A and B are shown apart, each in its own frame.
Chain A
Amino acid sequence: MDAQTIIARRVAKELRSGDLVNLGIGIPTLVANYVPPDLKVFFQSENGLIGTGPIPEQGMAHPTLTDAGGRPISALPGASTFDSAMSFGLIRGGHVDVTVLGGLQVDAEGHLANWMIPGKMVPGMGGAMDLVSGAKRVIVAMQHAAKGKSKIVPRCWLPLTSVRPVNLVVTEMAVIGFPDGRATLLETAPGVGIGEVMAVTDAELVVPDKVPEMRI
């Protein structure tokens, strides 16, 4: 199983029936593929839709029904549409139960940086800052390292997305939470030892007596 699939499958287990969920671009988008059909989750697209459905079949796309990247999507029975003020009222107002976002760095206190690399990549923050500020739970779905460098760092040196700490980080190697404001190893991926995770993590991790295996 590749890294992205492991991450997406594990994150999907965090969702509960009735949740309003917003998925960011990249790995988070894959999470929708692993939600069991009996779980009634509402997916929000921040360009103005609750009830996003799969990519339409060839020739069935509609130009006014797209995701936040402008790609064609479908709407499920029971979907609703609204303007951007409503959409971000839902996000900032605590009505979104879970947001799943990609990350560039998460630090030992759970701070997320995911919107710019000064001098290199300045695309704009889009909805990321509002999502991290306002969603009830923030889950970061990202690979553990990029180009051999740990993305879980003692302190973010990239500009923060929000000062509000995230709730959970899921990588292909581990699940990390922040009880008491400190990065804590909650689970390891099948076949991955605690020592292996520690070796590729720059941030100090609290390791409880029991660290169960990630269920995917």
Chain B
Amino acid sequence: MKAVSVEEAVAMIPAGASVMVGGFMGVGTPERLLDEVTRQRKSDLSLICNDAAIPGKGVGKLFDAALVSRLTATHIGLNPKAQQQMLANQINVDLVPQGTFVERIRAGGCGLGGVLTPTGVGTLVAEGKRQIEVDGRPFLLETALRAQFALVHAFLADYLGNLSYALTSRNFNPIMAMAADTVIVTAEHIVPVGVIAPDHVITPAPLVDYLITNG
């Protein structure tokens, strides 16, 4: 793990990059990184995030600044700007059931080619996908999902990069921290090694590439 400024970290992300962002309706989202992505105007992004949050909050800022070209998400109904951009064909949106979304990312981070899920069998979601029977039950083959960058927000990060999370801000963060080539983390608090007990580490330090320093 390397400690860097938020400006340095975001400078590494090229325009057109695929980026996973943790958070659920803006809760548990690395706001400082998104503010900087917006300031540096990293455009044409392929965004992978559970939802589009709301304008002005979380990944909602990326839609405010029209920086997203492709979006993989489970729900965008609470962000009118993302909806408008989808209906105007400014962004290409792939809507995925939430359980499938997280398992595809988990598969991507765990060396699996994909997962077999009953969710979506016989619905619009099944279009163009392989259906596989196991013990007589139908499943959809949902392929793994990875990104060039994962932007993750933790509650505590220690000097080595071990992470723990707070309450419902954990959500997709630890899953995404395994599924990207480069993992960049912001934390509410940076603490000495040992403050997070081994049993309470959710994301082990070797998964973290860059930790954003304070101020």
Contacts and interface: CB of A to CB of B under 8 A. Distances in A.
A183 B153 CA distance: 47
Contact of A70 (B26, B102, B175, B202): B26
Given A83-B172, A84-B50, A162 B167 contact: no
B160 interface: no
Contact of A124 (B27, B76, B119, B173): B76
Contacts of A87: 102
A109 interface: no
B171 A130 contact: no
B118 A64 contact: no
Interface residues of B, number: 47
Contacts of A85: 102-103, 106, 175
A43 to B, nearest CB: 13
Contacts of A162: 119-123
Interface in A119-145: 121-130, 133-134
A4 interface: no
Interface of A: 45-49, 62-66, 68-70, 75, 81-85, 87-88, 91-92, 121-130, 133-134, 159-163
A92 B168 contact: no
A82 B69 CA distance: 31
A49 to B, nearest CB: 5
A81 B83 CA distance: 31
B4 to A, nearest CB: 25
Interface in B95-138: 95, 97-100, 102-103, 106, 117-125
Contact of B169 (A64, A124, A133): A64
B86 interface: yes
Contacts, number: 140
Interface of B: 24-28, 50-51, 53-54, 73-78, 83, 86, 95, 97-100, 102-103, 106, 117-125, 155, 165-175, 202
Contacts of B118: 92, 133-134
Contacts of B167: 48-49, 62, 64-65, 75, 81
A41 to B, nearest CB: 19
Given A70-B26, A129-B125, A133-B118, A83 B54 contact: no
A124 B123 contact: no
A64 B27 contact: yes
Given A84-B172, A124-B77, 15 more contacts: A47-B24, A63-B27, A64-B168, A65-B168, A70-B26, A70-B53, A83-B165, A83-B174, A84-B102, A84-B175, A122-B86, A126-B75, A129-B99, A130-B119, A161-B123
